[in-house]
Structure 1
Amino acid sequence: MTGRAAVGRVLREAAVHYTDPAHPPGCLIVSAAVNCGLESAEVEEAMRALRQATKAGIGARIAEDVAAGLRPEDTDVDSMAAFYAAAIQGMSVQARDGATREQLERVADLAMLAWPEGQCPLAEASSSG
């Protein structure tokens, strides 16, 4: 699975899970401990680390595409990872504010439209084969 497919899947699955009526809307990791006092600093740091790990995982998938020749070598992996992490986090907040699964699926679709086009020569050569 390409990084693009993986990120798209994560976004679509977020739309499903964030709106599942079997549990509170959104994502606890996204919304927990974002505005805490000193007494909760440890929890706040743990949640921040989990959010950063998610962003790093997205970046790793994008970097794999670069290494495989599916993305140009000058791809701004960190910025792309930050953008898609922000989309996931925003979807969580939207779900907490009452967004439906269908609305979040549309957000996921729109976020994937922002995936930069362009391939490196290796990818173009293998697709024309």
Structure 2
Amino acid sequence: MEVFWARGYSGASIAELTAEMGINSPSLYAAFSSKEALFREAVSLYLATATAGTLKALEGDLSTRDSVAAMLLAAAEGCTAPGKPKGCLIVLGAANGGPDTQAMQQHLSDCRKETPRRIRRRLERGVKEGELPDGLDLDGIAAYFSTIINGFSIEARDGATIDALHHIVGHAMLGWDALTAPRAGQ
């Protein structure tokens, strides 16, 4: 997982992957059948472990605003975790590539789409519970915060520290009141 996380799908060689796993190429192919299948397994493991706290922050009893802020903080921490590759495998793992990587690019695109869906569900819950007004652009708000998370990955890969990303979270949350204010005529 960490080889793909650090190098991306195209950049991770079979030699690097087998060396990291402590196996030879025939064993890798016997266990996973292909580099693509191994990548999909690595992505599943990443989602279950490295990013689990990010979207989990949207669950629980925090207010909608505090849930979104906790999600952003968790994402920032995940992108800058000590001893781990910087950034996010889901954002950076197959950002570029030729025709041979299109399936992996699509797989990661599908994974990334889960973030705004989960944010939207939390916003819907906030509306249902009367914490947020009806009529908000929930898709737009979800896309805004999802885009910030995706941006953390690039910033972290370029050397941003956890403090720098926390600073960005603070700025992002300054927009909360404007994004969630009742619209005129409602």
Taking structure 2 as the reference length, what is the TM-score of the superposition?
0.61
Larger Rg: 2
CA shift, 1:119, in A, is: 6.2
Gaps of 5+ in 1: 121-129
Q: What does residue 118 of structure 2 align with?
A: 57
User: Is the deviation greater in 50-59 or in 35-44?
Assistant: 35-44
The answer to whether residue 166 in structure 2 is matched with residue 105 in structure 1 is: yes
Q: What does residue 41 of structure 1 align with?
A: 102
Judge conservation of contact 1:65–1:71 (CA < 8 Å) in 2: yes
Deviations, residues 37-62 of structure 1 (Å, cap 9, x unaligned): 22111111110011100111011111
Q: What does residue 127 of structure 1 align with?
A: none
Work out the percentage of aligned pairs sharing the same amino acid.
34
Moved over 6 A (4+): none
Q: What does residue 26 of structure 2 align with?
A: none
Deviations, residues 67-120 of structure 1 (Å, cap 9, x unaligned): 111111011100000000000011111000000110000101111111135667
Distance in structure 2 (CA, Å) of the matches to 1:22 and 1:3: 32
The secondary structure found in structure 2 opposite 1:35 is: coil
Distance in structure 1 (CA, Å) of the matches to 2:65 and 2:113: 19
The answer to whether residue 147 in structure 2 is matched with residue 86 in structure 1 is: yes
User: Is the deviation greater in 23-32 or in 34-43?
Assistant: 34-43
Distance in structure 2 (CA, Å) of the matches to 1:17 and 1:53: 17
CA shift, 1:21, in A, is: 2.1
Judge conservation of contact 1:59–1:77 (CA < 8 Å) in 2: yes
Judge conservation of contact 1:26–1:95 (CA < 8 Å) in 2: yes
Distance in structure 1 (CA, Å) of the matches to 2:120 and 2:77: 23
Gaps of 5+ in 2: 1-61
Higher relative contact order (CA 8 A, sep 6+): 1
User: Is the deviation greater in 94-103 or in 11-20?
Assistant: 11-20
